[in-house]
Structure 1
Amino acid sequence: MEKFFKLSEKNTTVRQEIIAGITTFLTMAYIVFVNPAILSATEMDQGALITATCLSAIIGTGLTGLWVNAPFAMAPGMGLNAFFAFTLVKGMGATWEQALGVVFLSGIIFVILTVTGVRKALILAIPMELRLATGAGIGLFIAFLGMQSMGLIVDNPATLVGLGAFTKPVAISVIGLVVMAFLEVRKTKGGILLGIVITTILGILMGEIEAPKTIISMPPSIAPIAFKLDILGALKPALMGAILSFLFVDLFDSLGTILACANEAGLIDKDGNVEKIDKVLEVDAASTMIGSLLGTSTVTTFVESASGIAAGGRTGLTSITTAICFFIALFFSPLIGAVPAYATAPALVIVGVFMFKNLLDIDLRNLETAIPCFLTIAMMPLAYSISIGLAFGFVSYVLIKVFVGKAREVNLILWIVAIFSFLEITGLMKVLVGKFF
């Protein structure tokens, strides 16, 4: 291990790396509960989703450890799974098989963009403010979904949404949210996971959840969802915009996470570049393709990797340890499957808070950027679509630059993105694609 992971060179030890890997797992283990809960809204088999979630995390995180030798963990991303379930399937009417095809195609494009270097040009073309607003908007959208799943927010014919009745499950869920918030404020490692466990136990004690008859068993079969993706169906004109949206969100989500974690892990060279960033991005893209074959939404680098890095993780041994923890979690599927949606829903609210913190780095005093950022953030939950929020942000940013006489500040790539976004918002995209294809 010393020779392979270069532990001495990175000033770390086997013990330190193992502790760091376990720390990373504890802070992101909630995804094993939450991802199946979100994706099962599309009628996908929940047991199979538990297995697919763990396997994709094992493969992505393991590849990062063995090939890149970096302390980064990967799993199906929050926000991207919500986009899969609620925008693509429930909103646009795609089947979950077609949605998996969309994820697979976005992964292929991701690989091509990374290998050819086009990815860097795209990153530089999008203003930093809009990148930050995207994260904040997805955070707000995820929190909104969490509150709906808790039963705290319900539909109201007069006002569209309103406060739900405080039934016993809602009360248990709210208590769970308070517990998670308390643990996170106290910086308790694995606070979200511990909150889910406490909420579930409370539900069992109050007779709202049936305790599982067994805790350990072989993992559920992945057959109901594995290799069921519909690639040809994903190529239909109506889903072209969804492929680009998946690509865009994963592009900046993974990049932002890698940059933040690399700085903490000491993986920045003297010129300010992240060491082996191309390899990390390639693993990210390959993991997305593999995840779609297994039956889950986009796999991406998790920001929770920072917790393991803070605990001393500096090499791929941290990632390998995290991957082993996910492997062990595979055999606790009866326990995971017994956790109800209202126990995992508070986790969505807390994760939404984490993502919404991006707002702090946006200069809201400058209306030239504040307006596009606000529209990006607000339209995601209001239109129930991440892609619509992105489209409003791009179009308004370009229009404002034109109106104030700064059109030359908008680069060609952003012009093209804004034009496609305008066509998507107005519905002209479907008309034009339908006409030519």
Structure 2
Amino acid sequence: MQTTQSVNKGVLERVFKLSEHNTNVKTEIIAGITTFMTMAYILVVNPSILADAGMDRNAVFAATAIAGFIGSCVMGFLANYPIALAPGMGLNAFFAYTVVLGMGYSWQFALCAVLIEGLIFILLTVTNVREKIIDCIPSVLKHAVTAGIGLFIAFIGLSNAGIVVNGATILALGNLKDPLVLLTIFGLLLAGILLAKNAKGAFLLAMVVVSGIGMISGLVPAPEAVVSSVPSLKPVFMQALSVPMDQIFSLDMLVVVFTFLFVDLFDTVGCLVGVASKGNMLDENGKLPRAKQALFADAIATTTGALLGTSTVTAYVESAAGIGEGGRTGLTAVTTGVLFLLSLFFAPVFTSIPTQATAPVLILVGVMMASSLTQIDFSDFTNAIPAFLTFAMMPLAYSIADGIIFGIISFTVFKIATKKTEDINLSLIILSILFVLKFVFLG
């Protein structure tokens, strides 16, 4: 048995280069479990949203789980990054409520658009276009993206927990007497104390404790069963290929594909740069090593997801939770992927993790990622203003992509206006022009 364990560890060491990244199998697995628990909500939310578009809820659940497994494993093995993938929030809402319910197209049409998007992404990745976009983003904006993503996911945590709510002043403090809010605050304090004490598995332990207290007290529902049957993919599988040719080559398809492409491109770029920066994975020039492999994994996942029967698959900012637990290699992502696959058999357990358990983790990850603000030179307003717009617009506009857009446009304008053209390049100017045109013609 000991020999078998040693051989297994040796294989994992060679595949994921654990020692080189100053980590070990135990740390990576705990990090992968933590990442999964913070993003397991997609197993419930994605089928619910796509069901509104007329898709079979159970089939979409299966497609979501399998897409999360494939995407995360491809990222882990191909790029060796601790970044998990799954069908993205926002993109699934655009899929259901704009393309299908708003424009009146079938969900098969929307799946076909996602498939085309994935194929285009594969082409753009092979030709290094996506990698060049990442490389052309200035270091100051990369730090701002990291902080912005931190604020964004902290806001999601605060909102999900009911600590901040819609109010007469746009946002307001929630009902702090609500037992569920109090449970979240307890989880926040517990996770924060464990984190401050450098306890191993702080996030995971806090989520388990909060889930247990919530279920025992009856504040949140306990799973009704442990094991469930695996839903069939058949109602949605390969339906992206059933769209008539006249719809594929229509102007509406072009607009839909472009929108999917645009949002997914900059959501993924923002996630990769921000999360990798937090894990100290950028090189001395502020570039992302193995960016091509990471982007290729994302493109493969989107293409595969469309064929399986789900909306755009993308990198998840919740991966920062696993990085906060010490995850540094693809073993973290693979662990998350395996848990997505297991969720097909243990859906009641995995989908019973309450918001009150995951929200504190998202908030504290936001705290950790906000530290990148210290790397920004606020004495130079041509850096400070674009950086501020980048990290402020992400939570306020509820979009990573919009934060990057505001940052790049303002950075380019301020540098040109103050004749600091040595800080910009042709790629930034072209991107800024495209972003302005996007707002003019697409809103």
Following superposition of structure 1 onto structure 2, how do residues 1-16 of structure 1 map, counting pairs within 5 Å? 7=14
The answer to whether the aligner puts 1:250 opposite 2:268 as a matched pair is yes
Deviation of residue 393 (structure 1)?
A: 1.5
Change (3 A) 1:353 1:258: closer
One-letter amino acid of the structure 1 residue matched with residue 395 of structure 2: P
- 5+ residue gaps, structure 2, are 1-6, 102-106
> How many percent identity over aligned positions?
30
Change (3 A) 1:274 1:148: closer
Which residue in the other structure is 1:24 paired with? Answer: 31
Contact 1:49/1:222 (<8 A) preserved = yes
Change (3 A) 1:175 1:247: same
Contact 1:38/1:85 (<8 A) preserved = no
| 1:120-152 CA-partner distances (Å, limit 9, x unpaired) | 432232212222222322321222222121111
Structure 2 residue matching 1:181: 3-state secondary structure: helix
| 1:5-38 CA-partner distances (Å, limit 9, x unpaired) | 78499697xxx96535523323322245233355
Residue from 313, 323, 330 that aligns with 1:298: 313
Residue from 170, 180, 186 that aligns with 1:175: 186
Q: How many residues align?
A: 413
Contact 1:103/1:246 (<8 A) preserved = no
Inter-partner Cα distance in structure 2 for 1:371 and 1:246: 25
What's the TM-score once normalised by structure 1's chain length? 0.76
One-letter amino acid of the structure 1 residue matched with residue 172 of structure 2: G
Change (3 A) 1:182 1:106: farther
Change (3 A) 1:390 1:89: farther
Which residue in the other structure is 1:161 paired with? Answer: 171
Inter-partner Cα distance in structure 1 for 2:156 and 2:18: 43
| 1:287-312 CA-partner distances (Å, limit 9, x unpaired) | 2332344425433384567579x68x
Following superposition of structure 1 onto structure 2, how do residues 96-111 of structure 1 map, counting pairs within 5 Å? 104-111=115-122
Contact 1:57/1:323 (<8 A) preserved = yes
Deviation of residue 404 (structure 1)?
A: 0.9
Contact 2:301/2:314 (<8 A) preserved = yes
Change (3 A) 1:216 1:9: closer
Contact 2:18/2:25 (<8 A) preserved = no
| 1:298-340 CA-partner distances (Å, limit 9, x unpaired) | 33384567579x68x87x7776666545544443211122233
Residue from 277, 297, 306 that aligns with 1:283: 297
Change (3 A) 1:330 1:85: same
Deviation of residue 255 (structure 1)?
A: 5.3
Inter-partner Cα distance in structure 1 for 2:426 and 2:33: 44
Following superposition of structure 1 onto structure 2, how do residues 139-150 of structure 1 map, counting pairs within 5 Å? 139-150=150-161
Change (3 A) 1:389 1:224: farther
Which residue in the other structure is 2:42 paired with? Answer: 35
Which residue in the other structure is 1:333 paired with? Answer: 347
Inter-partner Cα distance in structure 2 for 1:11 and 1:210: 39
One-letter amino acid of the structure 1 residue matched with residue 31 of structure 2: T
Structure 1 residue matching 2:190: 3-state secondary structure: helix
Which residue in the other structure is 1:112 paired with? Answer: 123
The answer to whether the aligner puts 1:76 opposite 2:85 as a matched pair is yes
Contact 1:47/1:337 (<8 A) preserved = no
Change (3 A) 1:293 1:261: farther
Change (3 A) 1:128 1:327: same
| 1:253-295 CA-partner distances (Å, limit 9, x unpaired) | 335656876969xxx9x99998866444423321233234442
Which residue in the other structure is 1:58 paired with? Answer: 69
| 1:67-95 CA-partner distances (Å, limit 9, x unpaired) | x4x64344226xx8344357x469x8455
What's the TM-score once normalised by structure 2's chain length? 0.75
Inter-partner Cα distance in structure 1 for 2:178 and 2:203: 23
Contact 1:241/1:424 (<8 A) preserved = no
Contact 1:170/1:342 (<8 A) preserved = yes
The answer to whether the aligner puts 1:371 opposite 2:385 as a matched pair is yes
Inter-partner Cα distance in structure 2 for 1:172 and 1:362: 36
Structure 2 residue matching 1:154: 3-state secondary structure: strand
Change (3 A) 1:129 1:83: farther
Inter-partner Cα distance in structure 2 for 1:113 and 1:213: 46
Contact 2:387/2:407 (<8 A) preserved = yes
The answer to whether the aligner puts 1:151 opposite 2:162 as a matched pair is yes
Residue from 211, 219, 228 that aligns with 1:208: 219
Change (3 A) 1:380 1:307: closer
